[in-house]
Amino acid sequence: MSKYRSQRDFNAGRWGVTAWFFGSFVLTVFADNGVSFAQTEQPVAIPLKHVPSNDDPSDFDALGIMIGINGEAARLYQFDTGSDMFVGQMGQNLPKRTAEADSKPSFYSYSDGTYGYWMQKIHFERISYFQPDNPISPVVTISGDFVAGEVLDWVLTKQHPNFKDKQTTARPVGHDEDGTPLYADLDVRKRIENDQPSDHPPFYGTFGTGDFVEKSGGSAALGTQTETGYIISANANIGHKVTPGCAPCLTLNLAPNIRSQFTALVPWGKLDYEFSQRKFFGSNANASTEEEGNYNYAIAFSVGKKKRAVNFQTKMLFDTGSPNFVFIDDSSVLSKLRSNGFKLAEYDVDLIDFRLTGFHDKQSHFEYEDVIAERDADEIEGSGVTLGMPFFQQNAVMYDLENRTTAVSPYFVTAEDFTTDNSVKNKSFLGRITNRSGSSGWLGLAGVISGAGDVLIDKGANVRMTNANTYTGLTSIAANSNLHLSGPGGIEHSSQIRIDGSLYIDQKGQHLASWNVPPGLNDARLRDISGKGDIFLGSNKLILTNANSVFEGKISDHNDEGKNAGGGIVLRAGKLTIAGKTDYSGLTDVAAGAELHVTGELKGDVSVKGKLIIDGRVNGAVKVASGGSVSGAGNVGNLMVLEGGESATTLTTVTD
């Protein structure tokens, strides 16, 4: 069920839901140890919960968040990015609850406007977030002047497709803005009176978390709590607990290490704020509209025995409140599909293939087969499409309020800090990453990994590190696995990087300007490398600070177009043997006191201030500076020995 997406009066073309501004608001966030995070950019991790459907306990079609109001016991609410409001049962004995002055009960509608909450606006002072599976003490508590909608009834109009199947009140309990009568569902009313989860158990209501805010003042709590934005990582631990730490997780506040996890970025673009507010009250953060951006995607379907694909470029809404993958609510999209042979009746579903493309990074092109597409009725022209809960189960989503951008990542993105020491009690342990960790082995680590132990990346795992890690143990990248050091990400304290899979540093540092990575972080500093895998430099430098091993793999600087990007290597200290065939085009710099032994092949030029031994082949020019030396029985493209440098006479100069 989509939340808020179609809370529009379709006939009159205006919003059909009453909302309001928060009052005076001072944000203070407390961890369970009482430490304040007020107005900081430190990430705040709030646990979420995968919730199965009522019909199939193995089908997790919703997200839950555990919230307590004004110190009351925690309740589970649906976590909904398709809504901007907190509407729920707050508890009959809720302390310090104040009704909104001069307000009357009003209708908060969903989907096609034929059902929703009959609610009363209230004020409360504190909102606490709990661990859903162990709600003993709050993870964080936020104090302020909050406004929410307290559920009085679950109501329907006679136009609702299932109205005749419901037991409802004989008389309407109220009317929507157009005067349409609203009838209360008596079964839901009984649950409310018994203080049981009401409209869709096990939830006590809906916690709206969209990055938009309705113009008359309704505001999502998350948008008021951060100036920068937040990420939703619901693509881990679906039905089982494999990934350590906060998973699934909501992370408040963005910083370069978090932003660097995302390369599939879509700016909001020019938005129509006729019905929406430009800023969140309290934080003054930028607010989007319900649908935004300009996404490139294709919908493919079968026509007879053939498959046909139709390309689109429209706005989009990411909605955890929609249980199916694609929701079509744009009349022009539906019309274009019809004209190409795809028929989808009102309130019907069908299988399609979905492809989301056009991003800077080729890795961030998304393709999905046999996903469910659905529609309601009375679609609106220009409203785009909605991607629902199944999309969130495969991707993390970032709402960058500061940069007015929405982004997605196939990695499970976590900003939690980990330790490689199993004995440390105040941090989650992380020593091995398997092909079940994160999102089917895709794990985005934006926090700091510390400790003296090793980090082992197993076959099939794909890891993205975007923080300055301090652990000192071995880093092992198994065959058919990947490690990406991106943005400010680094592992310079790791004793050795054993690369039998692939190491990528091509997105290190200021790869994208919107990441806001400080200058000077483009180069990757490692102590030592070994193994038979691949290293991808891009345009960056790999700096080795204490080498003592043999690397038998391939080192490349090719970009996405297959061209050399100019990446190089600096051997600052120690002894390194390159035994594999390299094709990076940038400079290899051997510093004073360092020793490089080439038994394989180097493509580019070499600057020698230390010691270079060539028993293999260097295709480029070798320049030996004062104090440096070159020797060996291999081949060199061109040799230049400056005054004070030394060379052996057994090297062969080659021209091919």
pLDDT of residue 108: 87
The pLDDT of 122-142, averaged and rounded, is: 90
Report the chain's terminal Cα–Cα distance, integer Å: 66
Residue 391 neighbours by CB distance under 10 Å: 25
The pLDDT of 542-562, averaged and rounded, is: 93
* Distance in angstroms (rounded) separating the CA atoms of residues 121 and 110: 17
Beta strand segments in 92-158, E: 98-99, 106-110, 115-130, 140-156
In a 3-state reduction of DSSP, which class is residue 341?
A: coil
In a 3-state reduction of DSSP, which class is residue 336?
A: helix
* Distance in angstroms (rounded) separating the CA atoms of residues 232 and 444: 13
Per-residue pLDDT of 334-351, as tens digits, reads 999 999 999 999 889 999
Strands 601-602, 611-614: parallel, antiparallel or unpaired by DSSP? unpaired
pLDDT of residue 219: 61
| pLDDT band, very low/low/confident/very high, at 265 (cuts 50, 70, 90) | very high
In a 3-state reduction of DSSP, which class is residue 171?
A: coil
Cβ-contact 29, 38 below 8 angstroms? yes
pLDDT of residue 22: 29
Nearest to 455 by CA among 401, 413, 496: 496
Cβ-contact 475, 455 below 8 angstroms? yes
Residue 502 has pLDDT above 60, yes or no: yes
Count CA atoms within 13 Å of residue 103 on its CB side.
20
C-alpha 48 chain-centroid distance: 14
Average confidence score pLDDT of the chain? 89
Residue 5 has pLDDT above 70, yes or no: no
* Distance in angstroms (rounded) separating the CA atoms of residues 139 and 150: 24
Residue 6 has pLDDT above 70, yes or no: no
In a 3-state reduction of DSSP, which class is residue 66?
A: strand
Give the H or E element holding residue 191: helix 186-193
pLDDT of residue 147: 79
Cβ-contact 6, 329 below 8 angstroms? yes
Token pair recorded at residue 442: 């895709």
Residue 307 neighbours by CB distance under 10 Å: 10
pLDDT of residue 2: 40
Residue 558 has pLDDT above 80, yes or no: yes
**For the structural domain made of 8-232, what CATH number should be given?**
2.40.70
- Tell me how far CA of residue 326 lies from CA of 51, 394, 573, in angstroms: 20, 14, 54
pLDDT of residue 57: 80
Beta strand segments in 330-440, E: 349-357, 366-374, 385-387, 396-400, 405-409, 412-414, 418-419, 428-429, 432-433
Phi, psi dihedrals of residue 560, rounded to the nearest 5°: -65, -25
* Distance in angstroms (rounded) separating the CA atoms of residues 266 and 407: 6
Amino acid in position 298: A
Residue 39 has pLDDT above 70, yes or no: no
C-alpha 87 chain-centroid distance: 26
| pLDDT band, very low/low/confident/very high, at 70 (cuts 50, 70, 90) | confident
Nearest to 622 by CA among 589, 574, 575: 589
* Distance in angstroms (rounded) separating the CA atoms of residues 233 and 230: 10
Residue 16 has pLDDT above 60, yes or no: no
Cut 0.85: pTM above it: yes
pLDDT of residue 281: 81
Q: Classify residue 509 as exposed, middle or buried by CB count within 10 Å of its CB (0-12, 13-18, 19+).
A: buried
Residue 366 neighbours by CB distance under 10 Å: 18
CA angle, residues 488, 493, 495, in degrees to nearest 5 = 135
| Helix intervals (H) in 33-108 | none
pLDDT of residue 655: 64
CA trace torsion 462, 464, 468, 470 (10° rounding): -20
Query: Where are the chain's structural domains?
Result: 8-232, 528-656
pLDDT of residue 15: 27
CA angle, residues 480, 544, 564, in degrees to nearest 5 = 65
The pLDDT of 441-463, averaged and rounded, is: 98
Cβ-contact 299, 437 below 8 angstroms? no
Give 201 or 217, the one with higher predicted confidence.
Answer: 201
pLDDT of residue 33: 37
* Distance in angstroms (rounded) separating the CA atoms of residues 576 and 499: 14
- Rg of the chain over all Cα atoms, to the nearest angstrom: 29
C-alpha 645 chain-centroid distance: 52
Token pair recorded at residue 389: 């809960």
In a 3-state reduction of DSSP, which class is residue 193?
A: helix
- Backbone φ/ψ region at 81: left (φ over 0), alpha (ψ -120 to 50), beta: alpha
- Backbone φ/ψ region at 194: left (φ over 0), alpha (ψ -120 to 50), beta: alpha
pLDDT of residue 25: 32
Residue 32 has pLDDT above 70, yes or no: no
DSSP letters, 590-609, are E-TT-EEEESSEE-S-EEES
418-419 β-sheet, strand order: 428-429, 418-419, 449-450
pLDDT of residue 10: 24
pLDDT of residue 434: 97
pLDDT of residue 11: 25
- Tell me how far CA of residue 39 lies from CA of 34, 43, 225, 533, in angstroms: 15, 11, 8, 44
The percentage of the chain sitting over the pLDDT mark of 70, rounded to a whole number, equals 91
Per-residue pLDDT of 52-68, as tens digits, reads 987 678 889 999 999 99
Find tokens 């992370």 and name the residue.
251
- Tell me how far CA of residue 311 lies from CA of 247, 301, 332, 351, in angstroms: 34, 12, 12, 17
Token pair recorded at residue 544: 């080795």
* Cα torsion angle, 215, 221, 227, 232, sign: negative
| pLDDT band, very low/low/confident/very high, at 28 (cuts 50, 70, 90) | very low
| pLDDT band, very low/low/confident/very high, at 99 (cuts 50, 70, 90) | low
* Distance in angstroms (rounded) separating the CA atoms of residues 328 and 61: 18
